[in-house]
């Protein structure tokens, strides 16, 4: 796992994005499609995408980039769209609650990548930014809502004498979740049901406690996949 100094935050995300854009500038110049011929350099394109003095031209350009990304997915276009929608992402992030900050941001980024794959750039182009925002918000709020549902699963408090045993079970389960190696966790993506099988075999406690452990491992696996995507530039896959 990355060191504490490498934790995913809004600051580290956009600092890293600036470096990524610098590295991708030559790629843009070599592969720029004809629809973007008016913008021969990546900085020029980004300048136009982040200025809204002419809303009609701006929304048309956003739609063009979305269409290009959906037709030929590449980390170049993900970086461009992340920079374009940076104010929206910052605003949505402030509204999120549940999980820890790193996990909320990972879910937000995953939801945004899903949105820019799904939103139709040819339907109502004038309101394209609204559709991207709404799709992103719905996805991340749903994910966090699911997480809160899992975290609210209790152990029961019918008898005072069960409290110590429950606390011990929670601690043991949490230890098992932390102890699962990253590589082994990533391997569970290749076989349906592998992660749940590992939890049942390894994590002690009630079925409810195992479900909570399973959910936490899925969230950790999602963060790992997101980190690997950012480092390798691979096209997104469902975690």
pLDDT band (50, 70, 90) for residue 146: low
CB 225 within 8 A of CB 167: no
Cα separation of 4 and 122, whole Å?
A: 42
- Whether 163 shows a pLDDT value over 50: the answer reads no
Cα separation of 155 and 12, whole Å?
A: 38
pLDDT for residue 6: 58
- Whether 165 shows a pLDDT value over 60: the answer reads no
CA dihedral 30→34→36→39, nearest 10 degrees, is 60
pLDDT for residue 239: 40
What is the arithmetic mean of pLDDT over 159-183?
52
Q: pLDDT tens across 37-90, in order?
A: 999 999 999 999 998 888 889 999 999 999 999 999 999 999 999 999 999 999
């Amino acid at each position: 796992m990355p060191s504490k100094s490498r934790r995913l935050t809004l600051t580290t995300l956009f600092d890293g994005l600036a470096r990524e854009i610098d590295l991708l500038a030559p790629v843009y110049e070599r592969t720029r499609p004809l629809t973007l011929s008016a913008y021969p350099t990546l900085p020029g394109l980004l300048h136009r995408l982040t200025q809204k003095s002419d809303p009609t031209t701006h929304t048309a350009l956003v739609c063009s980039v979305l269409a290009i990304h959906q037709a030929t997915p590449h980390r170049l276009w993900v970086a461009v769209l992340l920079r374009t929608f940076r104010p929206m992402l910052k605003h949505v992030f402030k509204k999120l609650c549940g999980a820890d900050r790193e996990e909320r941001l990972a879910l937000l980024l995953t939801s945004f990548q899903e949105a820019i794959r799904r939103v139709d750039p040819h339907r109502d182009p004038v309101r394209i930014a609204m559709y991207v925002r709404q799709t992103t918000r719905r996805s991340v709020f749903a994910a966090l809502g699911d997480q809160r549902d899992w975290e609210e699963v209790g152990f029961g408090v019918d008898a005072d004498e069960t409290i110590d045993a429950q606390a011990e079970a929670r601690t043991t389960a949490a230890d098992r979740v932390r102890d699962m190696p990253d590589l082994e966790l990533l391997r569970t993506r290749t076989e349906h049901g592998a992660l749940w099988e590992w939890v049942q075999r390894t994590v002690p406690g009630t079925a409810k406690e195992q479900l909570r452990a399973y959910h936490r491992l899925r969230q950790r696996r999602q963060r790992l996949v997101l980190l690997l995507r950012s480092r390798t530039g691979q096209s997104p896959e469902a975690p």
